[in-house]
Structure formats: structure tokens, C-alpha cells
Amino acid sequence: MKIVVALIGLVVIVFASLMLGTRPIAPSTVIEALVSPIAGNHDHLVVRELRVPRTLIGLLAGSALGLAGALMQGVTRNPLADPGLLGINAGAAFFVVLGITWFSVGSIAGLAGFALLGAAAATALVYGVSALGRDGATPVKLALAGAAITAAVTSLTTLVLLSDLDTLSRFRFWTVGSLTGRDLGNSVPLLIPLALGLVLALVTGPALNALALGDDLARGLGHRVALTRIIAGISVLLLCGCATALAGPVVFAGLAAPHIARRLVGGDYRRILPLSAVLGPALLLVADIVGRLIGGTGEIEAGLVIAVLGAPLLIALIRRSRVVSL
């Protein structure tokens, strides 16, 4: 029932995304633009050419980030796990900027390839650093290593962009995350890896429930722990790489969506995963709408808005003792 309510809420947010902005458009006009557009009508052109693409990008990227965050929290048993906080999005964005600057990559498929490589490199680096020392890769060490590597990689991304002003002016949205300036037609090649990541994520639900009990109990229940983590890792790389190629390194969407889902449906990952896939795009689209409304004649990128909105959530999580008790 709650997933149905969430889906209805997402539909409302999608419609609001088509209506609201620096130029508000009436609901009847939006419907007319979608059903029977009139050539030369400015409002219809705004809806179809500008707002529909950014809304669909928000749906795809938000779903990918919500699922990836839920997977990471389940696999690591770390409530702070998030593609943005653990450096995965930053690594993907850095490789995208390198591909644009040094290899003149312009296609969405090419950018997605570099994003996947960057996400894999960042994942390996964060895990390798956190595994050093006693106790291995604990949740706290993963969060600290992710924060440090995110800061370092983000600085490198900025350095590369500042060294090439043309790249900076054309692709500045990679540094903050945005839903604008995207060609929806060129995003079609990403649907296959996104769908694969979605399927892999959803099939891991029962295994994630077992992992929450501990590795030994999960093995005792017949689950192959190592295989589960490999499948989840592949899914996270596909989802994060494609989301970054679509919208840039958006943070906090993957952190907030699973926590809200957990509050609504409890700790069953068979319900958390699909609900996170609905709540992720809802959060991202709300941030995009807020950025349009408070930006005056311009806009504030969704990545900046959701970071501001997500900061209080992160502070609240840190204050809870059970977050760091591991």
C-alpha cells in the first residue's frame, strides 16, 4: 500500500515538475502539450523540449541513486553508505571530466563508460584504504575514507576544469549535479545498463535481509555472501555510473531515500529497494523544482539544493549513537 502511495506522490511531483519554473504553466496547458501539442505555442514548446527531458532524467538518475544507496547500506551494514559520501559519484565525475577534457568524448555512451570506470576506481580505492589497519573495513572507516577521497577527487576535478575554461563553461554541471542541458535522445544507450543494474539490485533483496543478521548467519541460511556482494557491487557501479553520466555527481539522494523507505516499511529489503527507487527520483525532482523557484530569473542546480536539504539529515544520523557503534 505504501509503495502505491509513494508512486501516486511521484506522479504528482512529476506533474509539478512540468508545471513549475521561472514561467509557471497551467495544468490544462501541460496536458494539452503532452496530448495534442500546437506548433508554435511557446508554452507547449517549454513543456515538451525543456521540462519533459529534465523530468525524465530526474526519474532515471534518482531511481538509480536511491537503489544504489539502499544496496550500499545493506551490503556494508552502514547507515551512512551513499554513492556521494563514499566517493563513488566523485570518482565517476572525475573520469567523465577527464574523458571530456583529454579524449574529447562527447557522446552519452562514451561519458557513461568513463563514469563506470571512475566509479569502479573510487570503489576500489575507498575499500582498499578502509581495509588497512585493524578490524578491516568497518562502517566508520568506510565513511571516513569515502569523505577523504571525495574531497581529494573533487579538488582534482575542479583543477582539471579550471585548466580548460572551454570545458568548464560547457560542462560545469558535472561539479554540482544538474538536470538541465541534457539531450534525452542521446541518453537511450544508458537504458540497458540502468535496467540491468535495476534487476540485479531487486534480486538481492532476500540476501540483504540475511546479511543484516551477519555473515555467519547468512551463510548458515544458505546464502553465498561473497556472490551477493559481487552482484550488489556490479549493480551499484552500473547505477552510479549511469546516474552520474546523466545528472552529474548528485549527493544525498542515495542516502536519504533508503532511510525514508526504512522508516515507512521497516527493515525488509524486499520492500526497501523498490520504495527507494521511487523516493530517490521524488527527492531529486523536488530539489530541481525548488532550485527553479528560488533561483529568480536563473536556476539553482538540483545537486546544490539537495545537498543543502540533505545536510540536516546527515547531522541527525551522526547524532544517533547506533550509527557509529560499529
* Residues 166-194 pLDDT 10s: 766 666 655 667 777 666 776 788 889 89
Q: What is the average pLDDT score of the chain?
A: 84
Element (H, E) at 262: helix 253-265
323, pLDDT greater than 50: no
Q: What is the pLDDT of residues 29-53, one digit of tens each?
A: 999 999 998 888 999 999 998 899 9
**More confident site: 68 or 39:** 68
Q: What is the pLDDT of residues 181-229, one digit of tens each?
A: 666 776 788 889 899 999 999 999 888 988 888 778 888 878 888 788 8
What is the pLDDT at residue 107? 72
pTM of the model: 0.85
Helix ranges, 164-252 (H): 165-171, 191-203, 205-211, 215-220, 225-247
What is the pLDDT at residue 71? 92
227: number of Cβ within 10 Å = 11
CA distances from 162 to 55, 155, 159, 178, 325 (A): 30, 11, 5, 19, 41
Q: What is the pLDDT of residues 124-136, one digit of tens each?
A: 898 888 878 776 6
- List the grid coordinates of 199: 534487476
Grouping H, G, I as helix, E, B as strand and the rest as coil, residue 296 is coil
